[in-house]
Amino acid sequence: MKPKSQTLFHFTKNLELVKKILTEGFWPRYCLEDLTWYMQSNFYTAFPMVCFCDIPLSRIKDHVDFYGSYGIGVTKEWALLSRLNPVSYLSNTSNYGFSVTNMYKNFDHTAKTVYYEKFGADLNVILSHFKPLNGTMNIGGNFISKDFYQENEWRYVPYSEDIQQWLSKEIFFDVSQLEVYNLKIKDRFSLKLTPKDIRYIFVKQDADIPEIINFIQSNLDNYSNAELKILMSRVTSLQSITDDL
């Protein structure tokens, strides 16, 4: 059994979000990240991102149970062309963790002399790709413990001087402000898909299959009949393969 899948998966809680992905692409939104490893105290920052995983289907059950039973699997070729990258898991007791933390804590953003003009911006991009081995995750305003290392996470983090690269915890929990920042990202940085990029469309149960098939036929008619037939063949019910997971 391969330790990593050649497909990258993105799971969500409902079928409507899958439909939006098929028509509009993956929309990067601000996600609150546990940076306790960095500040050595409860500290959270939100970065704009879309998250995926390359967990093999043989051990995907726990991931699906947590994140949702609807999703899309994309090719790794699409992922690389779309500038996705695996996160770097960090133990704050390791020399690696110490060096990373030391680098950030000792960088002076106000200093006149830095390595190059956008050095601070690049540090922010790198910071958005670190993840602690274990930490806490915000779920509906509640913080729960999570073993992040098991998630095999890849992520897409858009970068532009026109968008805010991170948000404070306070802004993240201000719904009206958060929506403004998220909408600013949507049009320019959503990741578009074509049928050839998709290897799986997951639905929770067999009863969901007619709905997603009808949606594909009615709303993706800008593609050829051959492409639509291939796309419809990608629909898989998790209910039907549960015994094989």
The three-class DSSP label of residue 196 is helix
CA distance 87 to 72: 20
What pLDDT, on a 0 to 100 scale, did the predictor assign at position 152?
Answer: 94
In DSSP notation, 121-136 reads HHHHHHHTTEEESEEE
Task: Look at residue 244 in the predicted model and tell me its pLDDT.
Answer: 67
Q: Which amino acid is at 86?
A: P
Average pLDDT, the chain: 91
Where helices occur in 71-204 by DSSP H, the ranges are: 76-81, 95-105, 119-127, 169-172, 175-189
pLDDT at res. 123: 85
Going by the DSSP 8-state scheme, the letter that residue 242 receives in this structure is: G
Query: Which has the higher per-residue pLDDT, 235 or 240?
Result: 235
> pTM for the complete prediction?
0.91
- Evaluate if residue 112 carries a pLDDT over 70: no
Q: What's the rounded Cα separation, in Å, for the pair 157 and 50?
A: 7
Which uninterrupted H or E stretch holds 233? helix 225-233
Q: What is the mean pLDDT of residues 122-129?
A: 90
Q: pLDDT per residue over 12-47, tens digit each?
A: 999 999 999 999 999 999 999 999 887 767 789 999
| Residue of 46, 125, 38 lying closest to 85 (CA atoms) | 125
Strand, helix or coil for residue 148 = helix
Mean pLDDT computed over 144-164: 93
Cα–Cα distance between 174 and 212 in angstroms, integer? Answer: 34
Q: Could you give the CA distance from residue 159 to residue 49 in angstroms, rounded to a whole number?
A: 10
- The tens digit of pLDDT for each residue in 159-215 reads 998 899 999 999 999 999 999 999 999 989 999 999 999 999 999 999 999 999 999
Determine the pLDDT at residue 24. 95
CA 3/CA 54 separation, integer angstroms? 9
Six-digit token string for 84: 């996705």
> Does 125 score more than 80 pLDDT?
yes
pLDDT-wise least confident of 96-105, 114-123, 160-169, 236-245: 114-123
Give mean pLDDT, residues 101-112: 73
Whole-number pLDDT of residue 101: 85
Which residues are within 8 A (CB) of 113 and not within 5 positions of it... i.e. 6 or more apart?
A: none
Q: How far is CA 46 from CA 69, 119, 171, 201, 215, in A?
A: 25, 20, 9, 28, 33
Measured CA to CA, the distance from residue 84 to residue 187 in angstroms comes to 18
pLDDT (mean) for 129-137? 92
pLDDT for the residue 100: 86
- DSSP assignment of 37-69 equals HHHSSS-EEEEEEEEEE---GGG-HHHHHHH-S
Percent of the chain with pLDDT over 90: 70
Greater pLDDT, 108 or 71: 71
In this prediction, residue 110 has a pLDDT band, given cuts at 50, 70 and 90, of low
pLDDT (mean) for 54-83 = 94
pLDDT at 118: 79
Confidence grade of residue 59 (pLDDT, cut at 50, 70, 90): confident
